[in-house]
């Protein structure tokens, strides 16, 4: 007969943090907090955390770097595969979600005892810090008990992430998602001058994690799937010369691909402008002729004109 401890032990073979809660408790709490989540009929909910390591790579003249949470294999697929392995031994119907689904992973993680909700909008685990991916599994089995850690911690008076956020997306007790760099550099929209000036990453943002005191001496666990693959740094030439199909084949299994190559090209142009790197102006111009997606073309055309002006000024000064 299945109970919470047995279920916990199964999942602990593949995950660093596990919480077993009643689905109805999660749904009730979501209702209290005015969170819109789908109704679920499977009575048991498993909340999962898988650690990823803290690693830093720097942009170069030829390669650009996304957020370090994208390093190694695509975490969406890694977590789903690990869940499938566990569920092979559990004879009950289930369904799962990893990141891009309509449920509130962070609410579930707090209820499941995986950590507390930090001012940086991330779940902070006692041992893993915020360096963990979250996943959910709904299972059609009714348990008599639950199993979750009791977290007695919070951010206290610390506001390092609030002070460090370059776009002022974080405030005490507030989060302005539209200002968040990790939001707008993944959004398929025309970017403002302020957003362009603030952006420093090819994809995502790490600042609020890197400054968090709860992450000191965390991020040391490296699961095999998250070993560096050599595709963490993206070639600028590949971005502007390869077809979508060729690029995705070359950089397959990388999490930064899930929004498509066009997002990465637009963000690359932002970074080239930031670094005043004009070596790729002709490539960008050729891409613009063939890709007139409005949100891409508007931002890219504007920045290319600025890059051309930088190039002209450099030519004038050197002559």
Active-site residue set: 99
Q: How far is CA 145 from the centre of its chain?
A: 32
CB 160 within 8 A of CB 208: no
Got the DSSP string for 243-311? Answer: -HHHHHHHTTT-GGGTT-HHHHHHHHHHHHHHTT--TTHHHHHHHHHH---HHHHHHHHHHHHHHHHHH
Task: Report the alpha-carbon distance of residue 37 to residue 102 in Å, rounded.
Answer: 6
Q: Report the alpha-carbon distance of residue 134 to residue 96 in Å, rounded.
A: 11
The rounded distance, in Å, linking the Cα atoms of 47 and 135 is 6
CB 68 within 8 A of CB 54: yes
Coil vs helix vs strand at 224: helix
DSSP state of 129: B
32, 54, 168, 217 from 210: Cα distances, Å:
32, 9, 16, 11
**21: its two tokens:** 């809660």
Q: Quick one: DSSP state of residue 113? A: T
Sequence-ordered strand ranges (E) for 59-131:
63-64, 94-97, 116-117, 123-124
**Burial of 220 by CB count in 10 Å (0-12 exposed, 13-18 middle, 19+ buried)?**
exposed
């Amino acid at each position: 007969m299945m109970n919470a401890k047995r279920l916990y032990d199964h999942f602990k073979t593949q995950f660093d943090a596990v919480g077993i809660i009643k689905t109805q408790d999660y749904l009730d709490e979501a209702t209290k907090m005015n969170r819109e989540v789908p109704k679920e009929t499977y009575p048991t909910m498993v909340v999962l955390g898988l650690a990823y390591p803290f690693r830093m790579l720097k942009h170069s003249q030829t390669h650009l770097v996304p957020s370090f949470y994208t390093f190694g294999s695509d975490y969406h697929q890694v977590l789903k595969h690990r869940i499938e392995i566990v569920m092979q031994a559990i004879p009950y119907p289930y369904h799962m979600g990893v990141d891009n689904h309509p449920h509130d992973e962070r609410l579930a993680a707090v209820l499941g005892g995986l950590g507390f909700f930090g001012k940086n909008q991330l779940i902070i685990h006692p041992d893993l810090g915020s360096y963990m991916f979250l996943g959910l599994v709904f299972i059609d089995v009714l348990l008599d008990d639950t199993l979750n850690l009791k977290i007695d911690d919070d951010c206290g008076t610390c506001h390092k992430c609030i002070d460090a956020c370059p776009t002022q997306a974080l405030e005490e007790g507030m989060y302005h998602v539209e200002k968040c760099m990790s939001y707008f550099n993944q959004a398929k929209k025309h970017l403002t001058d302020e957003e362009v000036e603030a952006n420093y990453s090819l994809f995502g943002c790490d600042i609020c994690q890197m400054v968090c005191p709860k992450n000191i001496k965390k991020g040391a666990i490296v699961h095999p799937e998250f070993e560096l693959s050599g595709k963490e740094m993206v070639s600028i030439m590949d971005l502007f010369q390869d077809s979508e199909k060729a690029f995705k084949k070359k950089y397959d299994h990388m999490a930064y691909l899930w929004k498509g190559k066009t997002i990465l090209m637009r963000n690359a142009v932002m970074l080239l402008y930031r670094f005043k790197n004009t070596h790729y102006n002709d490539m960008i111009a050729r891409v613009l002729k063939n890709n007139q997606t409005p949100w891409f073309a508007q931002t890219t055309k504007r920045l290319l004109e600025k890059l051309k002006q930088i190039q002209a000024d450099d030519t004038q000064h050197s002559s």
